[in-house]
Amino acid sequence: MPRTIAFANQKGGVAKTTTTLAISAALAERGRRVLTVDMDPQGALTYSTGIDPDALDETVNDVLVRRLPVEKVVVTREVDVVPANIDLAGAEAILLAKTGREYALQRALRDVGDTYDFVLIDCPPSLGILTINALTAAQEVVIPLQCEALSHRGVGQLIETLADIRHFTNPDLEIFGLIPTMYDGRSLHAREVLNDVGRRYGVTVLEPPVKKSIRLAEAAQAGLSILAYAPGHAAADAYREHARQLDDRRVDVKLQPEGVS
């Protein structure tokens, strides 16, 4: 079975989708077979791979609600994508009425079998049933972290939620680490947040930080990962290093059993 990794942060605008796509592309560069799953009704990952979300007939919504096989909705771009669009917003209400609602994505991904080495899930910026599905299906969590105070505060809240997921639906869930994104090393505040967050929460901060760059936004607009859009860019190299760490290193951070204050 593939390694399934959720990229989660309930705060929006922290480069979560950018990170999911870039690491997926970097793993594919390393010869790994990669499936990405867009669990955000805004369809940011779908759009960032050059797919028009509004033109899709079938998406991850049909996988979760109608139990359509995953392979029926996969679209191949740089990596294979299970796309999403605004229809997914309606899945939340439908899933809430179903027994075993937290396990819908996990059940669907069982059909993937050994087709892929990695499944990377882009979670929505919330802690609702779609994110719970992603965290229940995953073995590991990567937390993209913008190095500023509000994002820092959100990490503690997310870790509390992860502890609840571990207690109720996924006892083997582990945190792989934090990836600092949109980093400006000239800012004292950014440096202080980066130095404090790993120590405060007992979570590995993965190096190197991904520096802020307009190239990342340009890549998304072009429907490409930063690796395809600007392969020699520093951000592309940073994401290659994170992919190497994911590919080479076993998880070594256990979730804390209780919430972190």
How does DSSP assign the chain, residue by residue? --EEEEE--SSSSSSHHHHHHHHHHHHHHTT--EEEEE--TT-HHHHHTT--GGG-SS-HHHHHHS---GGGT-EESSSEEE---TTHHHHHHHHHTSTTGGGHHHHHHGGGTTS-SEEEEE--SS-SHHHHHHHHH-SEEEEEEESSHHHHHHHHHHHHHHHHHHHHT-TT-EEEEEEEESB-TT-HHHHHHHHHHHHHHT-PBPSS--B--HHHHHHHHHTS-HHHH-TTSHHHHHHHHHHHHHHH-----PPPSS---
| pLDDT at position 195 | 74
Query: Average of pLDDT values for 134-153?
Result: 84
AA letter at 245: Q
Q: How far apart are CA 178 and CA 213, in angstroms?
A: 19
| pLDDT at position 208 | 93
| pLDDT at position 185 | 67
pLDDT at 250 > cutoff 60 = no
Structure confidence at residue 251 as a pLDDT band (50, 70, 90): very low
Q: What is the pLDDT of residues 25-46, one digit of tens each?
A: 999 999 999 999 999 999 999 9
The pTM of the whole model exceeds 0.95: no
Q: How far apart are CA 174 and CA 166, in angstroms?
A: 8
- How would you classify residue 134: left for phi > 0, otherwise alpha for psi between -120 and 50, otherwise beta? alpha
Nearest 5°: the CA angle 148, 149, 155 is 95
In the chain, the percentage of residues whose pLDDT exceeds 90 is 70
Q: What is the pLDDT of residues 221-246, one digit of tens each?
A: 999 999 999 999 999 999 999 999 99
Architecture of the 3-143+156-180+213-248 domain = 3-Layer(aba) Sandwich (3.40)
| pLDDT at position 75 | 97
Structure confidence at residue 220 as a pLDDT band (50, 70, 90): very high
Sorted by where each begins, the domain ranges of the chain are: 3-143+156-180+213-248
Per DSSP bridges, beta strands 140-146 and 118-122 are: unpaired
Structure confidence at residue 196 as a pLDDT band (50, 70, 90): confident
Query: Who has greater pLDDT, 250 or 144?
Result: 144
| pLDDT at position 10 | 84
Structure confidence at residue 261 as a pLDDT band (50, 70, 90): very low
Q: How far apart are CA 77 and CA 108, in angstroms?
A: 21
